Amino acid sequence: MPVPDLFCAMMKEEWRMHSTIFGSLGFALFPAVIAVFALLGSLTLPLFADVLPYDAVALFAHALFLLMGVMVGSFGLMGREFMNRRFGQASLVAYASRSLPVSERRIFAAFLVKDTVYYILLYVLPFAAGFAAATPFIGLDPGLAVLAFVSLALAFLLGLSAVCFLSTLYARSVALLAGTAAGLAVLALAAFRLGAITVSAVLPPYAFFLDPAVEPLAISLLLILVPAAASVLFVTVDYPDRTKRFKNSLDPLAERVRTLGSAHFIAKDALDLLRSEGGAGKVIFSFLFPLGLVWVCLRVLIRFIPGIDPLVVFSALLGVISATIYNWLTEFDSFTSYAFLPVEVSEVIDAKLKSYALANLLPLGVLVLAAATSGGAGTFIPALAAFASVSAYTLAVTVYLTGLHPNVMLYHAWVFLRYLLAISPALLLLIFASILDPLYAFGSLLLILPAALLLSRGRTRWQAWEMPGY
């Protein structure tokens, strides 16, 4: 079977997988929502130009698309179990190398091309189109949108190919992955010591956007193509036999959290995270990676906005990012696993909320560390309030809109639009208010009330929802 045929089959499959759940229109409008938001966001750029320079916005956008590439790559490569939990007993072409007369290398190559085309059409193109539509009104050259499309696509592919490469290493040998990660860390540390780490060095597509020269383009392509080619060349589905045996850990773990109630559900959540591919590391990585990007971006912003309190802004963004832990908690679980047991959806949601509260000790630790190392101890209390409120509010919006299926439902155009509309204004208001005075961050505590209301309604709303089967 030639790669183009495989590619077409995978494209149809990806489309049908999403459109089965949302309906064709619901999913087809998803890029339109991105385009509208990019348009509206771009139109507001001149209003905030003094506080938020274009270069800083561009940096945020590139960091965001790099992160999307990482997320798409992680999702696609985490294996059959991952898909089954999310979509029921899904059987995808990507997992068919053992039943079809097609090599796994060819399937994986088609899979990479499919992800590249599909998600560039889904995310990057509409974003660039929205920006392009705004350029005549904000005094920018429309050609800049074409440049943005290319550089943002490069940023997305950089994240995608890096994750593909790391996953191939992991499939070959955990030690190989650990060694490579350690080597990269040493290199990064050495470069940092030598002062060689700049934003452009870390994110060549962004450098290409700032200066569309051959050098950053070549570096970007090299960093995309070499890992992608290596991951195709060395791909394997003959994973080492990692059938592990575990003594009963459910009861001891449940005993530790017995006072919280729902103890066995919480223990199961913990075991799901710890024992699934990548262990706790995948959660920590997916959490710390965007935080690192936020931190780098904030360091840039400080130069432009002298009055900004980085800790408060960081804590608000930390609250949004920490809500993604809920996505992980629901990733390996599906209510169909409980549908034949005497369990209500609300009971599972309650348990997830408790697991979430426990998992939030991680971002809390990050906040304490950030306060201690950045000299921001003076604004720690308002920062803590902002973090807790935004985290609770974002979680509540996620639960209300997506129930136990955030990783699926957020691809529904209408749901995604409501998610953005619910979170963006509150977040932007909080950030701008805290720029005026960090103490205004206490105002974020007002978010606790709608958060409680949304959680209460979300628990009952998802009781009767039936996920379309495959």
Partner 1 sequence: MGVRQMIEADSLTKEYGNVTAVNRVSFTVTEGELFGLLGPNGSGKTTMIRMLTGQIPPTSGSARVMGLDAAKDPIGVRGLVGIIPEQETPPSFLTAEEYLRFVARIRSLDDVDERCDRWFDLLEFGDKRNVLCKDLSRGTRQKLMFSQAFLHEPELALIDEPLINLDPIMQRTVKDFLREYVQGGGTVFFSTHILEIAEEICDRIGVIHNGRLLHAGQLEDLIGSGRHLESFFLDLVRGDAGA
Instruction: Give the residues lining the site for partner 1 (CB under 8 A).
Output: 81, 84-85, 88-89, 243-251, 254, 263-264, 268, 271-272, 274-276, 332-333, 336-344, 464, 466, 469
DSSP class of residue 439? G
- Give every CB contact of residue 39 below 8 A, 6+ residues apart in sequence: 130, 131, 133, 134
Whole-number Å distance between alpha carbons of 140 and 132: 9
- In the complex, what is the shortest distance from the CB of residue 264 to partner 1, in angstroms, rounded to a whole number? 4
Minimum CB separation of residue 341 from partner 1 in Å reads 5
Residue with tokens 């679980």: 333
Output 50 or 466, the one with its CB closest to partner 1: 466
Name which of 26 and 450 has its Cβ closer to partner 1.
26
Q: CA–CA distance from 119 to each of 73, 156, 349 (Å)?
A: 11, 9, 30
CB 376 within 8 A of CB 310: yes
Which contacts (CB < 8 Å, 24+ apart) does range 366-373 have? 366/288, 366/291, 366/318, 367/314, 367/315, 367/318, 370/295, 370/311, 370/314, 370/315, 371/311
Of 288 and 343, CB closest to partner 1: 343
Shortest Å distance, C-beta 51 to partner 1: 46
The b-or-e profile of 351-377 (16+ CB within 10 A means b, else e) is: bbbbbbebbbebbbebbeebbeeeebe
Helix 54-77 with 104-119: angle, nearest 10 deg: 150
Closer to partner 1 at the Cβ: 74 or 151? 74
Q: For residue 68, which of 222, 282, 323, 289 has the smallest C-alpha distance?
A: 289
Q: Minimum Å distance from CB 469 to partner 1?
A: 8
Can you say how many angstroms the Cα of residue 157 is from the centroid of all Cα atoms in its chain? Answer: 15
Smaller CB separation from partner 1, 253 or 320:
253
Burial letters for 20-33: b for 16+ Cβ neighbours within 10 Å, e otherwise? ebbeeebbebbbeb
Q: How far is the CB of 275 from partner 1 (least distance, A)?
A: 4
Q: Which is nearer to partner 1, 339 or 453 (CB)?
A: 339
Q: Closer to partner 1 at the Cβ: 329 or 388? A: 329
Whichever of 55 and 272 has its CB closer to partner 1, that residue is 272
**Shortest Cβ 42–partner 1 spacing (Å):** 40
Backbone angles phi, psi at 203, to 5 degrees: -130, 75
CB of 344 to partner 1, least distance (A): 6
Kindly state the smallest distance separating residue 84's Cβ from partner 1, in Å.
8
